[in-house]
Amino acid sequence: MGILEKISEIEKEIARTQKNKATEYHLGLLKAKLAKYRSQLLEPSKKGGDKGEGFDVLKSGDARVALIGFPSVGKSTLLSTLTHTHSEAASYEFTTLTCIPGVIEYRGANIQLLDLPGIIEGAAQGKGRGRQVIAVARTADLVLMMLDATKPYVHRQLLEKELESVGIRLNKPKPNIYFKVKKGGGLSFNSTCQLTKIDEKMVQMILHEYKIFNAEVLFREDCTPDELIDVILANRVYLPCLYVYNKIDQISIQEVDRIARQPHSVVVSCNMKLNLDYLLEILWEYLSLIRVYTKKPGQPPDFDDGLILRKGVTVEHVCHSIHRTLAAQLKYALVWGTSTKYSPQRVGINHTVNDEDVVQLIKK
C-alpha cells in the first residue's frame, strides 16, 4: 500500500469512529499515524520527480507574503494592482502557472508579494502545482488567502484543510509544550495546569507510534493530542493569515458587511480598487512591521529613511540594523514616541521601541 492509500484508509477510519471516552485513545493513535504518513509525504523523495520543492524565487525585502487561493479568485489582478509587476489575469482557470514575485512599497518597506498558481482540493497530495505552491507558502511571513466573495464559505474551509494537512498552522500560536527526547529514563510527564484533553497514557501511546520511549514532556497549557503531535514532528510552521475576499462588487452591501466582520478578514475589489488602502494597513499590522527613525544630535529626524523592523525589537536591534559594531559602543539612547513616558527619554539597550519612534543613539 502506498502512503496515499494508507492516509486515505486512516482518514476513513477516523471518520467512521464515533468520538467518545472509549474511543479516545484509539483516535489519538490514528491521528499520530496520520500525521506520521503525511509528514513522510512532505519529505523530498530520493528518486527525483516531484520533490515538493518550491518555485525558485529569491527572498527579498522586509517581508514575504504568499498569495494562496483557488483558481481565478483574482490573485494576479491583486499583484498587478499593488505592485509594479504585471501578472497575466484572465477569466479562465490556471492562468498563472508559476511563481511571480512583485514588491509592495508601503511606508518605506519593501514587501515581497508572491503571485502563485491556483490550488485545488487535493493540492497537498500533489494535485496540480499544489505541493510547490504549499512549499512556497511555508517560506512566507504571512499567507494572504484570497477568496472569491461570490463563492460559498466552504471554499475557505477546503483551503484551510489543505494547508493544515501539510503542517501549516494559520493564526495559531505554537503549543506551549516542552518536549525533549532523552537517551534513557523512560517518560517523564509533567504539567503546570490541568489537562482535560490528554493524559499520560495517551502521551505514551503517541510517543510509541514515533518509536520514542525516553522523553521529557511538560505541558504548560491544556493541549490536544494534535498539538502534541505537532510538537513531536517539529516541522510545523505557524503563520499569520489574512483572508481577503475579492470581487465584492458582485455581492450585496449586507453580504459585504457580514464578511468584513469575520475575524482576520478583509473585503476588497481589485477591479474597482475598493478597500485596497485598508488591506495594506492590515497587512502591515499582521506582518508585525514597525518603522523607526534615527536622529543625529542637533539635526531633525531622518523621516525619509526609516528603519523597517519587527514589533518587539529593542534599541539593540536598532543598533544592529545600522552597524554591527554599534551596539557595543552604545552608552544610551534618547527616544521620542509612544514607547516612552516622556519625549525624549533616556533608555538603555534593552528598551523596546514602538512604531514611529525616533531614536538618537549616544556612543560611549
Ligand X SMILES: Nc1nc2c(ncn2[C@@H]2O[C@H](COP(=O)(O)OP(=O)(O)OP(=O)(O)O)[C@@H](O)[C@H]2O)c(=O)[nH]1
Minimum distance from residue 336 beta carbon to Mg ion (Å): 44
Using a 10 angstrom Cβ sphere, with 0-12 exposed, 13-18 middle and 19 or more buried, the burial of residue 277 is: exposed
Residues within window 72-91 making contact with ligand X, judged by CB under 6 A = 72-77, 89-91
Encoded one letter per residue, x for contact with K ion by CB under 5 A and - for no contact, window 75-104 reads --------------------x---------
Could you say which of ligand X, K ion, Mg ion, none residue 285 binds, taking C-beta under 5 to 8 angstroms by partner kind? Answer: none
The Cβ-side half-sphere exposure at 235, using a 13 Å CA radius, reads 13
Minimum distance from residue 99 beta carbon to Mg ion (Å): 11
Total binding residues toward K ion, as defined by CB under 5 A: 2
Cβ–Cβ under 8 Å, residues 94 and 102: no
Tell me: does residue 359 bind ligand X (CB under 6 A): no
Tell me: does residue 76 bind Mg ion (CB under 5 A): yes
How is residue 66 written as a grid cell? 504568499
Residue of 121, 124, 104 whose CA lies nearest to 113:
104
Q: Please say which residue, 116 or 217, places its beta carbon nearer to ligand X.
A: 116
Separation between Cα atoms, residue 228 and residue 198, nearest integer Å: 9
Separation between Cα atoms, residue 294 and residue 253, nearest integer Å: 44
How is residue 2 written as a grid cell? 502506498
How is residue 260 written as a grid cell? 468584513
- The helix, strand and coil proportions of the chain, stated in percent and rounded to the nearest 5, come to 35, 25, 45
Number of other CB atoms surrounding residue 331 within 10 Å: 11
Residue of this chain nearest to ligand X (CB atom): 118
Separation between Cα atoms, residue 183 and residue 216, nearest integer Å: 11
Cβ–Cβ under 8 Å, residues 176 and 190: no
Q: Please say which residue, 76 or 275, places its beta carbon nearer to Mg ion.
A: 76
Among 95, 150, 271, 340, binds Mg ion (CB under 5 A): 95
Angle of the 24-42 helix axis to the 225-233 helix axis, nearest 10? 30
Distance (Å) of CA 118 to CA 88, 100, 137, 188? 13, 12, 12, 46
Tell me: does residue 145 bind ligand X (CB under 6 A): no
Tell me: does residue 249 bind ligand X (CB under 6 A): yes
Minimum distance from residue 95 beta carbon to K ion (Å): 4
Tell me: does residue 80 bind Mg ion (CB under 5 A): no
Minimum distance from residue 266 beta carbon to Mg ion (Å): 19
Minimum distance from residue 92 beta carbon to Mg ion (Å): 10
Among 36, 63, 72, 217, binds K ion (CB under 5 A): 72
Separation between Cα atoms, residue 84 and residue 78, nearest integer Å: 11
Tell me: does residue 112 bind ligand X (CB under 6 A): no
Among 28, 118, 175, 225, binds ligand X (CB under 6 A): 118
Could you say which of K ion, ligand X, Mg ion, none residue 301 binds, taking C-beta under 5 to 8 angstroms by partner kind? Answer: none
Residue written as grid cell 527616544: 335
Minimum distance from residue 256 beta carbon to ligand X (Å): 12
Residues within window 257-296 making contact with ligand X, judged by CB under 6 A = 269-272
Q: Please say which residue, 270 or 292, places its beta carbon nearer to ligand X.
A: 270
User: Cα torsion at 287, 352, 343, 323 (round to 10°)?
Assistant: -90
Among 39, 85, 95, 224, binds ligand X (CB under 6 A): 95
Minimum distance from residue 102 beta carbon to K ion (Å): 16
Q: How far apart are the first and last CA of the chain?
A: 68
Total binding residues toward ligand X, as defined by CB under 6 A: 25
Which residues in this chain contact K ion in the complex, by CB under 5 A? 72, 95
Residues that bind ligand X (CB under 6 A): 69, 71-77, 89-91, 93-96, 117-118, 246-247, 249-250, 269-272
Q: Which residues bind Mg ion (CB under 5 A)?
A: 75-76, 95-96
